[in-house]
Amino acid sequence: MGMQAGGCEDERALAEELGSITVARDAARRTLTEGAYLGNQEDVLLVVTELVTNALLHGGGPLTLRLSVHPSRVRVEVGDAGEELPEPREPGPADGWGLHVVGRLCTDWGVSPQPGGKVVWCELSPQPATVPAAGPGAVT
């Protein structure tokens, strides 16, 4: 895959079937490794799972998964042929945690309407390590 140093991209069509979630996760895992992403890969896989699941449940037509991975940034895009823009519903076990999870894990996300459908995209960056201000045993 030709890309500038330290970057990797992957784009693929996904069938309208639940097996596409596994395909998408496998592709993401491979691209994250090739792109040497420094953040938490599980976070990215969770976001990919949610976006693909959402598109399968609420979108329409074949899906497109596009991943752009750099060590310090990941962009995930899932396109479908549904005209309806997703609306965050109340999160819960029935409907999945969906966009609430995405919103918490991502630095930025949104929906881009396109001719014949839409693309839901999000970007993640490695979380800076949080160090407690006071050391262990410090008197506060």
Contact 76, 14 (CB under 8 A): no
**Token pair belonging to 32:** 């994250």
Other C-beta atoms lying within 10 Å of the C-beta of residue 84: 11
pLDDT at 1: 43
For the segment 52-79, the average pLDDT, to the nearest whole number, is 93
> Among candidates 55, 28, 49, 40, which has minimal Cα distance to 111?
55
For the segment 49-70, the average pLDDT, to the nearest whole number, is 92
Q: Is the model's pLDDT at 2 over the cut of 50? A: no
> What is residue 29's three-state secondary structure?
helix
Contact 23, 31 (CB under 8 A): no
Count CA within 13 A, CB hemisphere, residue 90: 2
> What is residue 129's three-state secondary structure?
coil
Q: Could you report the per-residue pLDDT of 3-29, keeping only the tens digit for each?
A: 445 689 999 999 999 999 999 999 999
Residues 6 or more apart in contact with residue 59 via CB below 8 angstroms: 80, 81, 82, 117, 118
Q: Is the model's pLDDT at 110 over the cut of 70? A: yes
